[in-house]
Amino acid sequence: MKLGDFIKDLEKSSDASSTAYAKLEIILDILRKINSSLVLKDVLELVLKNAIKISQSERGFIVLKDPNGNLEFMLCLDSEGKALSKELFNISTTVVNEVFNSGQSKFIESALDGTTATSQSIINLELQTIMCSPLITKDEKIGVIYVDSKQINKIKNKIITETFEILAGQAAIAIYNALMHHRQITANDELKKAYQELELAKQEAQKFEKLKNHFLLQMSHEIRTPFNIILGSTQLLRSNRKELDLDETSKLFDMLEKGSQRIIRTVDEIMEMAKIESGSYEVQKENINLESDILQPILNTYTKIAHEKGLELVYENVSDGCEINCDKFMTYQIFQEIIDNAIKFTLSGKVCVKLFTDVSKKITVNISDTGVGISEEYLQNIFKPFSQEDTGYSRKFEGNGLALALVKKYADINEILIDVTSKKKVGSSFTLQFK
């Protein structure tokens, strides 16, 4: 029944008592409240609470049609306004589906009477009173409102049933408006999210482009520089074959060798990173002696290099054991790169390598230096590929920014923990702990 028809009947009826008009006032008050909000949750709660109250029911729920045309549970409350489990949607689905499909309200009194008990859930829950009305707006069924009780509430009272129907009819409009508002907000949020994701993708693309340009710049510098040394040396040898003495010739060949080694190292590091990133790297773990198989061969090579720079390379072993299970090549590369960097970035003082067993009985190596150090801001980027604190053609130290990135990759693969501390103009300390 529509609100206008109810008012006309009320005016004509001889039963148009103060009680009936009081009910009308209640309906109008409810409608003012539910139409004052566009928040779907608030509207549904107001509608259901008042539906339970005016029908003198014990509980109720609202289901709405989803975009696929299926009924979706939205809210279930008891007479005190407390939310109930959505499993209660299974209550009297026969009644709910019948009302939704037919578009007609259904009122059942004395539901447990043998002649009217049509649902097993009604019998199991000992329901006596059921009131169910469709939510229809603009000739479209959007859902169902349902209330029930274990008590007989004399729902044949015409004013109660008509009031419930009127509430359902008017509530449908408010719910529809709130539903449209909710969908609009959701669509706006999704659009905003899509825009944010697009913006992030754009930033990532710009970041990638910047990284690519930086990579090309770094590689150009790392390859051109040694090639220039090689070409310059060969030109000197060619133009001064008879005039160069043995020392000068030896220096030129040293330059040729270092330039070639620098190119080979750059290419090797690029290939290693590519293999790891593609997942095609074959790991071969084995039992090795950290001191004799890794540290001593590296130290034997770099002791001379350190001495030529006027540095002291100190080694100390105070460990309880040196046996580890790792990929030998990766482990060798880890320590070679860290020790090489320590010597390269240390202008005076010393580089110390200490092998020991920490408090957790794990084999640990600490490599410290008195070098230029790393700023606190850059420290978090130290293991990123192609990352260098000092960049550009004017930088003091050579390098392509891949060495420490590979160190971290190798360490992760072999389950080696790395901790780095550093301070500008004081030095750096790398601590490696084996599993």
What predicted TM-score, i.e. pTM, was given to this entire model? Answer: 0.47
Reported as a pLDDT band with limits 50, 70 and 90, residue 153 is low
**Under 8 Å between Cβ of 272 and 309:** no
User: How far is the C-alpha of 19 from the C-alpha of 414, rounded, in Å?
Assistant: 83
The Cα 326–Cα 313 span in angstroms is: 25
Q: Are 392 and 331 in contact (CB under 8 A)?
A: no
CB neighbour burial string for 352-388, b if at least 16 within 10 angstroms, e if fewer: bbbbeeeeeeebbbbbbbbbbbbeeeebeebbebbbb
Per-residue pLDDT, averaged over 185-214, amounts to 81
Structure tokens, 148: 């029930």
Q: What is the DSSP secondary structure assignment for residue 176, as one 8-state letter?
A: H
Share of the chain above pLDDT 70, in %: 79
**Amino acid 114: pLDDT:** 56
Q: Given a cut of 70, is residue 115 above it in pLDDT?
A: no
Question: How far is it, in rounded angstroms, from Cα 162 to Cα 10?
Answer: 11
Question: What's the longest Cα–Cα distance across the chain?
Answer: 134
pLDDT at 155 over 60: no
Residue ranges of the chain that CATH labels 1.10.287.130: 199-278
CATH class of segment(s) 199-278: mainly alpha
Asked if pLDDT for residue 134 goes beyond 60, the answer is: yes
Residue spans in the chain of domains classed CATH 3.30.450.40: 3-188
Q: What are phi and psi of 154, to 5 degrees?
A: 55, 50
pLDDT at 395: 46
Strands 350-357 and 312-318: parallel
Highest-confidence segment of 81-95, 125-139, 260-274, 288-302 = 288-302
193 or 262, which is more confident: 193
- CA–CA dist 195, 187 (Å, integer): 12
The most confident of the ranges 92-96, 160-164, 209-213, 313-317 is 313-317
pLDDT for 32 equals 80
DSSP code string of 125-153: TT--EEEEEEEEETTEEEEEEEEEESS--
- Helices (H) then strands (E): counts for the chain: 11, 12
- How many Å apart are CA 46 and CA 66, to the nearest integer? 21
Length of the chain in residues, anyone? 435
Residues 356-412 pLDDT 10s: 999 999 999 999 999 999 998 888 888 887 666 654 444 454 555 688 888 999 999
DSSP state of 83: B
Overall CATH class of domain 3-188: alpha beta
Question: Mean pLDDT across the chain, nearest whole number?
Answer: 81
Residue entry with tokens 């103009």: 425
Domain 285-433 part of CATH 3.30.565.10: yes
Query: Are 134 and 141 within 8 A, CB to CB?
Result: yes
Residue 164: the pLDDT is 87
CA dist 140 and 172 (Å) reads 10
pLDDT at 430 over 60: yes
In the chain, list all ranges with CATH 3.30.565.10.
Answer: 285-433
Q: Which one-letter DSSP state was computed for residue 397?
A: S
**In this model, does residue 106 exceed pLDDT 50?**
yes
CB 394 within 8 A of CB 410: no
Res. 204: pLDDT tops 90: no
- Stretch 205-212: mean pLDDT: 71
* Residue 434 near residue 416 (C-beta atoms within 8 A): yes
140 pLDDT above the threshold of 80? yes
DSSP code string of 321-384? --EEEEEHHHHHHHHHHHHHHHHHT-SSSEEEEEEEE-TTS-EEEEEEE-SS---HHHHTTTTS
Res 281 pLDDT > 80? no
Q: Which of 8-12, 91-95, 226-230 has the lowest mean pLDDT?
A: 8-12
Task: Please report which confidence band the pLDDT of residue 3 belongs to, taking 50, 70 and 90 as the band edges.
Answer: very low
Rg over alpha carbons for the chain, rounded to the nearest Å, is 41
